[in-house]
Every structure is written in C-alpha cells, then in structure tokens.
Structure 1
Amino acid sequence: MISKVTKYGLALGLSATLATGVYAQEPNTSESANPEAAIKASLEKLTSGAQLGEIRPSVIDGLYNVQIIGGPAVIISADGKHVIMGEVFDVTDSGLAPVQDPYLLNSRREFVASLGEKESIKFAPDGETKHVAYVFTDVDCGYCRRLHSQMHSYNEMGVNKPGYNDLGIEIRYLAYPRAGANSPSAAKLESAWCADDQPAALDKLKNLETVSAATCEASPVEKQYLKGGEMGVTGTPAILLPDGRLFVGYQPPEQLLQTIKSK
C-alpha cells in the first residue's frame, strides 16, 4: 500500500540503520556491474519495500539519486552500500549554494506543462494574474488551511496584509493526501475534484465543512500523489513554480511573491 510507510518512518529507519552500521548485504559481482539492481535491492531492504522513484545519476559523479515515494530523497553509491541523506551544496565564491537538481527541475517543468484544465483547482485574482503557483495540498493539513485563508487580504496581529490573489498570484491546487492515495483525506480531495463547482467544494473542505462524497474516472488525486512523491514532495503545502523550483512548506503571500521573483 502506498500509505504504509511515512516519510518520517523512512527517514528514521534509514538514519537508524546507518547509525548502527547495518548496511545492505554485500552485493555480488553481477550486482556491482548493475548499479540499478544493487541500489534497488539495498533501498528495498532499508525501507521495507517502499516505492522508489527513478534511479539516476546524481549531480555528484559516481553516485546515484533516488526519491523514495512519500519519503526523503537519498544519494547512494553504485554498489548500494553507502547512503547520504540531506541537501547537496555547490561551493561558490560567495559561499555554499543549494544544488537545484537539473533532472528534477526539468521533470517538474514538464509536469506543469502537461496539466489539463481540470487537473488543478484554481483561485485566481479578480484582476490581472501576474504569477502562478501550483500548491500540493491536503485538506487535513493545518498549514494548508492557513495558506487558503490568506487567498485574499487578511489581518495579522492588527495589521492588514495583502493575500495571494491581491498580489496577482493565482493559486492552482494539486492533490497530495499525506496519508496516502487510499486514505480518508484522499477521498475528500477526490470529492472536490469530482464536484461540479470544484473551487466551492475545496473551499468548504478547507473550512472544515463537509461536501457530498463523489468519485469520478477523471480524478487526478492518485496520479498527483504519486507524481508529487517522484518530484520531491514530502509534505504539504508544497509550492511548485512553473520554472521547476519546489518549496515544501507554507509561505505567506508576501514571502511567496519574493520567492517567485528571486532566481
């Protein structure tokens, strides 16, 4: 089942395994000659069979990158014996800079370009749309509800602030039920995507109201959950920009605007 292993369990399990020095079995000669087989065998053992994304060369020569669906991305040696968890940084004249994986950037751009009209639920400005942000969301996520509550102007500690739409940012929601594609959260999201008025249904769910349960063949919930995991989504909200940059976590409207403008 997709939802069997959480990102936290995966991360803790991998960390504990590495900390205690328990590695995958020594690969045989044929495995050493076939990095994908050795890596797959090691990670399946470490994660109790969690679904894996594509095994591909890392930005570090000789190492490979694998996204564990619903869990962390790891860098692993060709023989499957050594795993690195955490961000990779470039050494620049001005210090360390996080590496943007070119494969993932391109994959995310292609995904955004492939989205059909009904695959995202849109909340657009009344006036001109200056920017677009795709947000992987879960209706049972507190910070997702907070983000949604700031679609328009809002008051924070006595100060009126502009919302996403007020700043010209169109929010296009994508589905990412954190508990998995077969969870109650996924069923709620599917009801929103299958509703006649998608924004109204999602708005109700974000405000802890109920909507009529619905299913439909066109529901993108499972597909988006799996694709999100492949592209590095590990929690919600996760903000995906059309240029391929991904930011996991809530950003208030003015911060998101600055993020969009920064390159």
Structure 2
Amino acid sequence: MRYLLILFLMLISCSKTLQDQQSLIINLEKVIPEELSITSFIKSDLESFYEVELSDGTLFYYSNDGEHLFLGDLFRIEKDNLLNLSYAREKEKVLSVLSDLDKNSAIKFPPQDKKYEVFIFTDVDCGYCRKFHSQIQSYLDLGIEVNYLSFPREGLNSETAKKLVTAWCSDDKQVAITELKNGKELPFQNCDSNPIEEHYNLARRIGITGTPTIITKAGISIPGLMEANELMEYLK
C-alpha cells in the first residue's frame, strides 16, 4: 500500500511538472516573433532554468517562474577549468544538421589527396564568398575538400536564390558556380532535385545568417572568410 501511495504521488508530481512546463511554453509563445516557433524546451544545467531553442536556431535560458530569460553562454566551473555548456550544445546542433544533410547534394571540389573536408554555406553574390572561391586552390592544396551548400541570404525568392538553383541544376555544377561567382550571367535553369530550400532550412536550424559559413566535421561553425592555413588549425 505504501509503495502504491508513493507511486501515486510521483505521478501527480510529474503531471504537475508537465502542466507547469506547458503553461510556460504558452506564455513564451506570446512574446516571441510570430514567424518563429519553439523547437526544444528542456531542463538546463542551470537550476530553475529551461533551455529553449527557436526555429531560427536561437538558444536562450528561461526561468521556471516565467519571469526571466537570458541570451548568452552558460559556463560550468570544473575544478580549475570553465566548461562552456552553450558551445557544446551548439556543436551538438551542428552535428545534427550534418547527419540530416544529404552530402551528395553539395557541389564538391575534391583535392588530389583528401585529408579533411568542410561544408560551406555560400551564395554567389557575396564578396567574401567570391574571394573564398577565387583562392579555393589554396584549400585543395592542403588536402581540404570543399563542399558547397546553398544559402541565399536574402531569402528563397531572391535573385541570388535563382542563381543558386541554376548552379545546382546545371550539368557541370562546378563550372556553373564558378562562373556565377565570377559575375557571369547564366540562363535560369530549374530541376525537381534542386536542394536550395533544404540547405536554407538546415542553415536556419543552426542560426546561420551570413555567408560564407564554414562547418567542420567536428561540429564547429566558423562564420566569415578564413584563410586556408588558419582553417587547418580547426581541422587537425
């Protein structure tokens, strides 16, 4: 009888926790932008706070009384070291995106002797994307395979998005994306298999807003242009 009572009390406690959590989610949905949704709502390592993730990749912490939230990194002190829990969580998200990615959908530039690989969210109009591509041989010479993923910064209905569709639907994707990054105008091409929207949504899941953004196999996200020798430090 005693064990049944304990079990009953545990069930009541769990039910109340779920109800409280649902109330917090409902209240939070009232204040976040309408175009966003809550994709994750879990207990965090910080007592009395939940970890919340939005559909655009934003990560923040929300108090269990529903009155406070903060954006920023959460650290845990371990002996003489600081462990960045938020950074570890971000890496998990990036690795999740990589696992969901159809790697055959990338435009691949393989080196002669492959030692590493990176995935780069790019468009064809941004200056730093063009600069990266103009020196792509320096990455290939170090054995870094470059896999381009599309990310039209101005949205899926932009002119840049149409150019990216053309690149991915061309018979020779390497030549097409090179010509577009060099400023050449190409006739619009479309195909049922173009992955532009898929890539765009994957990028938004991890909060990417600009190009180029370099993703390593270890789950490190590097925004902006990085020279080949510098990038090697993240790959070794």
TM bin, normalised by shorter chain, reads: 0.7 to 0.9
Name the counterpart of 2:182: 207
DSSP-derived class of the 2:187 partner: coil
The answer to whether the 8 A contact 2:120-2:212 is kept is yes
Say if 2:39 and 2:55, in contact at 8 Å, map to a contact too. no
Query: For residues 134 and 85 of structure 2, what CA distance do their matches in structure 1 show?
Result: 32
Show the counterpart of 2:214. 239
Give the match for residue 11 of structure 2: none
Letter of the 1:129 counterpart: K
CA distance in structure 2 between the partners assigned to 1:64 and 1:164 by the alignment: 37
- SS of structure 1 residue aligned to 2:61: strand
Q: 1:225 aligns with which of 200, 210, 213?
A: 200
Name which of 131, 142, 167 aligns with 1:146. Answer: 131
- SS in structure 2 opposite 1:256? helix
Alpha-carbon RMSD across the aligned residues, in angstroms, is 2.5
Deviation at 1:78, TM superposition (A): 4.5
2:115 counterpart of 1:130: yes
Look up the equivalent residue of 2:53 and give its one-letter code: V
Paired position in structure 1 for 2:53: 66
Go from structure 1 to structure 2 and tell me whether the alpha carbon gap of 1:79 and 1:52 turns closer, same or farther (over 3 Å shift). Answer: farther
- 1:1-263 aligned within 5 A: 33-44=22-33, 49-52=34-37, 54-57=39-42, 58-61=44-47, 62-69=49-56, 72-78=58-64, 81-91=67-77, 96=82, 98-116=84-102, 118-125=104-111, 127-152=112-137, 163-261=138-236
Contact kept, 8 Å, 1:143 with 1:237, in 2: the verdict is yes
Q: How far apart, CA to CA, are the structure 2 residues paired with 1:222 and 1:188? A: 13
CA distance, structure 2, for counterparts of residue 253 and residue 53 of structure 1: 37
Distance in 2, matches of 1:110 and 1:73, equals: 15
Contact 1:42 1:81 in 2 (8 A): no
Superposed displacement of residue 108, structure 1: 2.8
C-alpha separation between the residues in 2 aligned to 1:90 and 1:40?
29
Q: Which runs of 5+ in 1 are unaligned?
A: 1-29, 153-162
Separation of aligned partners in 2, 1:106 and 1:256: 20
C-alpha distance in 2, partners of 1:175/1:89?
33
Relative to structure 1, the CA distance from residue 77 to residue 211 in structure 2 (aligned partners, 3 Å threshold; closer, same or farther) is: farther
Letter in 2 for 1:43: I
Look up the match of 1:159. none
Separation in 2 of the partners of 1:186 and 1:75?
34
Deviation at 1:210, TM superposition (A): 1.5
Q: Structure 2: which 5+ runs fail to align? A: 1-18
Could you tell me how far 1:234 is from its partner in structure 2? 2.4
